[in-house]
Amino acid sequence: MKVSIQGIKGSNHHIVAENYFEEEVTLIECFSFDSLVGSLMEGKSDIGIMAIENTIAGSIIPNYALIDHHHLHIVGEYYLNIHHHLMGLSGQKLSDIKEVLSHPMALLQCKEFFKNHKSIKLVEDTDTADVAKRISENQLKNVAAIAPKIAADIYGLEVIEDEIQTIKDNATRFVIVQTEKPALNQDFVNKASLKFQLDHKRGSLAAILNVLSDCKMNLTKIQSLPVIEMPWKYAFFVDVTFDVLSDYEKAISIITIMAEDFKVLGTYKNGRK
């Protein structure tokens, strides 16, 4: 199986690929989520792994739009506890470091650590593991990366500071996506991702939420995105969990009538159970 990930070996997406799939997979490394989706659409990969939200930084809004616009199907999810480590060439100490390069999300999640090290310049880069790889290949002194510990192992770097993330209980939710709609395994699924639009009428969203409640759906996520071609109109992305498939199917049949541009983005197994 060919699996596209954002980033390279040593990244958090790489860790998810190793943990989620029981079989050995071939990684297709992509430097952006747009190129990851392109890999799927062009048939270069069979499946993709996309970060969708983080407990500190919140939702990764552009990825909702990518999944929706390209009609990708969510077939699974994985929650990964995030551990950020400061790493550099062997023998480097924290006092030697003048620049730290990493993905903007990693820098944001380690903001508090660097308040005590104001002489260090923080530089946004494309990928956590790619920075670690460049430091190793180019033997960059006085430069450090923020990356998972696996990146230090792969690229022969030394961890300078462990666990520098601001909040230690830090997790990212990843979704597993593909272009083909999978067959519904009734004994397997207990979560769904939905998307819909509503008219600007009083109580329209409340009516949808009441349907979900009446049909015994547990709302675990709601996210709004502007509809680009229609100013001041919003699409809603909703995640629900359920115990009985027939309850979910009843909710879907009702919301299909009530909402505009209704779409099931995926029905899959809850990654937190």
Confidence at residue 34, expressed as pLDDT on a 0 to 100 scale? 97
What per-residue confidence (pLDDT) applies to 177?
Answer: 98
Q: Is residue 237 a contact partner of residue 175, using CB atoms and an 8 Å limit?
A: no
**Pair 27, 3: CB distance under 8 Å:** yes
Does 186 reside within a domain? no
Q: Which residues contact 235 (CB under 8 A, 6 or more apart)?
A: 68, 195, 196, 197, 224, 225, 226, 227, 261
119 & 246 share domain: no
Smallest Cα–Cα separation from 193: which of 96, 74, 15? 74
Mean pLDDT of 238-262: 96
Nearest to 213 by CA among 187, 189, 236, 247: 247
Q: Which pLDDT value is given to residue 269?
A: 96
Residue 200 or 54, more confident: 54
Task: At 209, list the tokens.
Answer: 């939420």
- Residue 24: inside a domain: yes
Q: Assess whether 54 and 13 both reside in one domain.
A: yes
pLDDT for the residue 22? 84
What is the pLDDT at residue 184?
Answer: 83
pTM strictly above 0.85: yes
Please give the pLDDT value at position 207: 95
Regarding whether 174 and 72 lie in a shared domain, the answer is yes
pLDDT at 162 over 90: yes
Average pLDDT over residues 197-224: 94
- pLDDT band at residue 200 under the 50/70/90 scheme: confident
User: How does DSSP classify residue 203?
Assistant: T
Number of domains in the chain: 3
Predicted pLDDT of residue 99: 97
Co-location of 69 and 91 in the same domain: no
77 & 94 share domain: no
Give the three-class secondary structure for 165. Answer: coil
pLDDT in tens, 107-158: 988 999 999 999 999 999 988 999 999 999 999 999 999 999 999 999 999 9
Give which of 33, 16, 21 is closest to 69, Cα–Cα: 33
- The answer to whether residues 132 and 10 touch, using CB atoms and an 8 Å cutoff, is yes
pLDDT tens digit sequence for 5-17: 999 999 999 999 9
Closest C-alpha among 102, 238, 82 to residue 168 = 82
Bridge partners of 226?
234
Q: Return the C-alpha torsion angle 208, 209, 211, 214, nearest 10.
A: -170
Same domain, 139 and 256: no
Q: Is the pLDDT of residue 232 over 90?
A: no
32: in domain: yes
- 3-state DSSP assignment of residue 7: strand
Sign of the alpha-carbon torsion through 142, 54, 256, 187: positive
| Within-domain flag for 100 | yes
Tell me the residue range of the domain where 101 lies.
85-161
Residues 54 and 174 in one domain: yes
For the chain, the average pLDDT equals 94
Looking at the domain assignment, is residue 92 inside a domain?
A: yes
Rounded to the nearest 5°, which phi and psi values hold at 60? -95, 85
Position 14 scores a pLDDT of 97
Residues 89 and 140 in one domain: yes
Q: What pLDDT score does 118 carry?
A: 92
Same domain? 174 vs 74: yes
29 part of a folded domain:
yes
Percent of the chain's residues with pLDDT above 70: 100
Q: Do 17 and 137 belong together in one domain?
A: no
pLDDT given at position 178: 98
Q: What is the CATH number of the domain that holds 218?
A: 3.30.70.260
In a domain, 99, yes or no: yes
Of all residues in the chain, what percent carry a pLDDT higher than 90?
84
Alpha-carbon span 114 to 192, nearest angstrom: 39
pLDDT of residue 187 exceeding 90, the answer is no
pLDDT at site 201: 82
Q: What is the pLDDT of residues 39-61, one digit of tens each?
A: 999 999 999 999 999 888 789 99
Q: Looking up tokens 């104001």, which residue turns up? A: 118
Q: What phi and psi values does residue 184 have, to the nearest 5 degrees?
A: -80, 120
Alpha helices (H) along 12-88: 12-20, 33-41, 61-69
pLDDT of residue 57: 79
